[in-house]
Structure 1
Amino acid sequence: MLLKIAFFVLVIIGMFLKTVYLPFESFKEIVYVTLIMFALFSVGVIQSLKYYTNTDNQ
Structure 2
Amino acid sequence: MINFKAIKSRRAGLGLKQAFVAERVGISQAHYSSIECGRDNPSIPTLLYLNRIFKEAIR
* Same-fold status (TM-score > 0.5): no
TM-score (norm 1): 0.40
For the pair shown, which has the larger CA radius of gyration, 1 or 2? 1
TM-score (norm 2): 0.39
Higher-helix-fraction structure: 1
